[in-house]
Amino acid sequence: MIINIIIAILVLGSISVLFGALLGYAAVRFKVETDPIVDQLDSILPQTQCGQCGYPGCKPYAQAIANGESINKCAPGGEDTIKKIASLLGVEVEDLDENHEKDNRPKVAFIIEDDCIGCTKCIQACPVDAILGAAKQMHTIIIDECTGCDLCVAPCPVDCIEMRIIPETIQNWQWDLSKIPVKSLD
């Protein structure tokens, strides 16, 4: 009787050892190299480097998320980014943090040249070097590089920078038929 039990234990034990060894070998031999999680998170974030999340740039925020920071702090990324991060990390989707800009349409900065005093404070503030200018020279925004992060507006001592919504053109029209202004013929 006892011998049967011992045989059973031995057989099952050896089978499990065998399969465990096989699995372990496969895990090492066929390992797939994936991006570290920080890089994957960084590739989801919109790269505006605006700092609205409280971190000096998108990569630091990605690192913070990897260390447990909440995922709902990116305002320019919006709902879509939160959903993507949530699905990557396997956590729950949260609503966007309350204190952020409500209007999320893409904007670029614009310097009112009449008022510009050439102080270079905005140039120092821009995280992607999208402002062209020098001391005592006119400053201007390079629209193609501007990410709309808003960081240049506050440092300007004469308040000559405003954020303008990118206008809708034929090239970037998104086929929203409900927004076409219809002429009434009455």
Site for another protein, rule CB under 8 A? 42, 46-49, 57-58, 114, 117-120, 123-124, 127-130, 134-138, 145, 147, 154-155, 157-159, 168-170, 172-177, 180-186
Nearer to another protein among residue 40 and residue 47 (C-beta) = 47
Nearer to another protein among residue 31 and residue 179 (C-beta) = 179
What's the min distance (Å) between Cβ of 177 and another protein?
Answer: 5
What's the min distance (Å) between Cβ of 1 and another protein?
Answer: 38
- Taking a C-beta distance cutoff of 8 angstroms, is the pair 43, 77 a contact? no
What's the min distance (Å) between Cβ of 170 and another protein?
Answer: 6
What's the min distance (Å) between Cβ of 40 and another protein?
Answer: 14
* Cα 95 to Cα 72: distance, rounded to the nearest angstrom: 6
Q: Residue 23: exposed, middle, or buried by beta-carbon count in 10 A (0-12, 13-18, 19+)?
A: exposed
Categorise residue 167: left if φ over 0, alpha if ψ from -120 to 50, beta otherwise: beta
- Taking a C-beta distance cutoff of 8 angstroms, is the pair 125, 50 a contact? no
